[in-house]
Structure 1
């Protein structure tokens, strides 16, 4: 079958296609649709750009107050399906309204209070956050549940001493 192009000059859009200038114009002419441009691909926004405290791999920082927060810890274990070998991220945040310690730093997972950074480390963590220019004293750290098979579960954090933000 032979295809002949006649009267190309009468249809400028087809002439542009033949010159290789406008592929979309040809498709518009061919299919009768409007030319659409592809939307730019955007990376999903990450409102929680929280930085992490540097760890040393030891998980030797014992979280305080875990005996009072066993419900939250057990909920975390169940929701993550974790055991002794699986680590997870926790959020550390200043609790300036704490009546017992103005330097208190909470340890939370998905909003559930698991415990507190020990008082002797809390001021060091505040200083590390300040040195890193992090406002609001919020960061993350790796955590591990300990004491599986026992009545009371505990949490250990992987925080290098002196505390530094990665």
Structure 2
């Protein structure tokens, strides 16, 4: 059963089979997949045309370690909620380039569904919900506001 409202989602993944699998799971979660890219330039072209609300971005793409650059631009230019996908969590830049967090590969359909629900709650309500398994929250989101205020 599809959830609503539909999220406009972009996939940035250089493994074609994984991208297709993600597209099916996202569609089943009530997402409107607006495009799939395998490198930085393809991702920028889709983002500029579609302004996605959410993006699943692999850290290491066909053109190298460009996922963080893609994430940074999506967040800055489009206000996109970015989730990194990576087999190498140590490659995620400090501060996560504005991304909400990261999912370690390999992951399963249940994890992606939980990540979509997490991102949807953040996009709609600007709150951090239940943490999906195999998900690492970005440091900028993991500090409660009361811990940031001076004592």
Structure (1/2) with the larger helix percentage: 2
Q: Structure 2 length as normaliser, TM-score?
A: 0.23
Structure of higher RCO (CA pairs closer than 8 Å, 6+ residues apart): 1
- TM-score (normalised: structure 1): 0.22
